[in-house]
Amino acid sequence: MYKRKKGKKFSRKTDQRKAFMRLMAINLIMNEKIKTTKTRAKQTAILVEKMITKAKKNDLAAKKALTAALSLSAARKLVAQIAPRFKDRAGGYTRVIAIGSRQKDAAPLAMVELLDRPIEAAPDEIKGGKKKSGAKKTAAKKEKTKE
């Protein structure tokens, strides 16, 4: 009897495909946002959503299954940090956003991210302000040395 196969093959053999999808899932869990091709993003989102649902159970069997499927650090982050954020959500933990096409080979690109992730600081806040504020600091230092 004909049965429909789920997922994409990505022109890879089974073991290579499993390793590839495992690494994509680990990258998404650790970074909470990745940029890749549209097809890869969709498959990664499906895989990670299933893992988050499993992590929400937070029992020994779920932890062992996640540790077998992911790296230890990714499994720990998934259970300790990511799953509690989605405890009230019934599904739909990821978002796939199309971001145009790659210039080299015109492959459609997409960004896949976890919902409810912490807000990132703006680049100015990370560096300590704009260059003008840095100029004020140097001027203040010069005044202190004159006194």
Comparison of pLDDT for 120 and 41, the residue scoring more: 41
Calculate what percentage of the chain has a pLDDT beyond 90. 70
37 within a domain of the structure (yes/no): yes
The answer to whether residue 126 is domain-embedded is no
Residue 131 belongs to a domain: no
Query: What pLDDT digit, counting tens, does each position of 21-74 carry?
Result: 999 999 999 999 999 999 999 999 999 999 999 999 999 999 999 999 999 999
Helical segments of the chain, H only: 14-31, 38-57, 60-69, 72-77, 83-85, 123-127, 131-146
Q: Residue 70 pairs with which residues in a beta bridge? A: none
| Run of H or E including 9 | none
Q: Which residues contact 51 (CB under 8 A, 6 or more apart)?
A: 25, 29, 66, 69, 70, 78
Stronger pLDDT, 4 or 36, i.e. the higher one: 36
Q: Is residue 135 part of a domain?
A: no
**Is residue 142 situated within a structural domain?**
no
Q: Is the dihedral of CA 61, 85, 50, 69 positive or negative?
A: negative
The pLDDT value given to residue 119: 77
Domain count, the chain: 1
- pLDDT beyond 70 at 100: yes
Is 130 within a domain? no
Question: Rounded distance, CA 52 to CA 57, Å?
Answer: 9
Q: pLDDT band for 118, please (50, 70, 90 cuts).
A: confident
Whether this model's pTM surpasses 0.85 = no
- 132 within a domain of the structure (yes/no): no
As a whole number, the mean pLDDT across the chain is 87
Determine the structural domain holding residue 72 and report its residue range: 14-119
> Which of 91, 89, 109, 113 lies closest to 99, judged by CA?
109
120 versus 22: which is more confidently predicted? 22
Report yes or no on 92 lying in a domain: yes
Instruction: Give the CATH number, domain containing residue 60.
Output: 3.90.1030.10
pLDDT of residue 7: 84
